[in-house]
Amino acid sequence: MSVFGWYVGGGYEGRPDGHVYQVEWDATMYAPTEADIRMGDRVHLPGAGEFVLVGEPSSWDNNPWFQPGLVEVRLKRVGDRE
């Protein structure tokens, strides 16, 4: 699958309402909405290695101005780097 872009650089975020649901990630990827990717799917990033999707994809189409057809997904490393 071709993606719009990705970058390696992690972070950590909790929910603004203070609930326990939290996501820790090592990379971020911007994929087309029609790819229908879901939490738990695995991806390979060239030069960076194998990752698994953590958390739910965030759709950039949920706004009143335009629909770019992209989802933002957080990725957690699951193997050694290339």
Please tell me the distance from the alpha carbon of residue 15 to that of residue 21, in angstroms, as a whole number.
Answer: 6
Are the CB atoms for 31 and 45 separated by under 8 Å?
no
Total of domains in the chain: 1
Ranges assigned E (strand) in 1-82: 5-14, 22-32, 42-45, 49-59, 70-77
Which residue range is the domain that position 46 belongs to?
5-77
- With bands split at pLDDT 50, 70 and 90, how would you rate the model's confidence at 22? low
Residue 33 within any structural domain of the chain: yes
- With bands split at pLDDT 50, 70 and 90, how would you rate the model's confidence at 27? very high
pTM tops 0.95, yes or no: no
Residue 82 within any structural domain of the chain: no
Question: Residue range 14-34: average pLDDT?
Answer: 75
Residue 23 within any structural domain of the chain: yes
Mean pLDDT score of the chain: 82
pLDDT in tens, 43-63: 999 989 999 998 888 887 877
SS (H, E, C) 2-21: CCCEEEEEEEEEECCCCCCC
Higher pLDDT, 8 or 62: 8
Number of residues that this document lists for the chain: 82
